[in-house]
A = this chain, B = another copy of it.
């Protein structure tokens, strides 16, 4: 009998990662492609997904009939059971039954999961969160995403919409968030929030190595790392502020969940993770009950850019 494989995809607003897993959960082939600019047609993103799957098969020499399942993350609100994308903020899909479309195209089961949920699930099954029963995951990137493992299972809530931990209000009079509210965790601690802070300081005449990067958008995580290493004062302030509010949010989440683990991941943590974790650890005790704090661990994710791919693998294993 020929060996069988599974394909995991990580579909983002700007790129698609793809990987072929063998039966021992090793990634035997991988691929990265630009997906689309904001506002592009749904069909284009879908075509990129199809291209990634086909290129993975071509370059690996593995025929489609040895693939048993495909799973993909989707950056948005989905119906995981039905395989339907309900809404994505950065991609033009509304109530789109991508599961059925892909099943028709490739003839194998196609599963979807929310991207941050899959990141936490990947770390829970195969990474730093393995063996912890209750896990609160905070993923810091352009935004701040969240994922919850409760009683050993991904908690998705009503209509798979749970886990918007980046949109806890930490200061009702705080800075405006992309979601329209004020003072969300994301407004302080994401790349967007940090970039807005740096932009404001620069507009007041202060210098920063990130001045140009934040002029119109958000800095790249690697550039933040460089600025911190160079002792950029404004960048450090932005990080201190981000970590302060991450500590406040973490404290509340500890009081709410009494988790076994709070896990930090995402592009920013990937780039400057130890700095973040140290600062959060220095403050978090001030924002939760000692009795509950005493039984929770805080640490960084371990699978890096592959956490979502491994989450897709976990999803296929659970649904199989």
Contact = CB atoms under 8 A, between A and B. Distances in A.
Copy number in the complex reads 2
A167 B252 contact: yes
Contact of A258 (B162, B179, B244): B162
Contacts of A151: 150-151, 153, 155
Interface in A155-178: 155-165, 167-172
A90 interface: no
A164 B287 contact: no
Interface string A255-288: 1111110000000000000000000000000111
Contacts of A165: 255-256
Interface stretch (A98-106, A289-297, A306-314): A289-297
B170 A292 contact: no
A48 to B, nearest CB: 25
Contact of A251 (B133, B157, B169, B296): B169
B292 A161 contact: yes
Contacts of A77: 291
Contacts of A169: 170, 248, 251-252, 287
A35 interface: no
Contacts of A292: 161, 164
A171 B171 contact: yes
A59 to B, nearest CB: 38
A-B pairs with lowest CB-CB distance, top 5: A157-B258, A161-B258, A162-B258, A164-B255, A168-B252
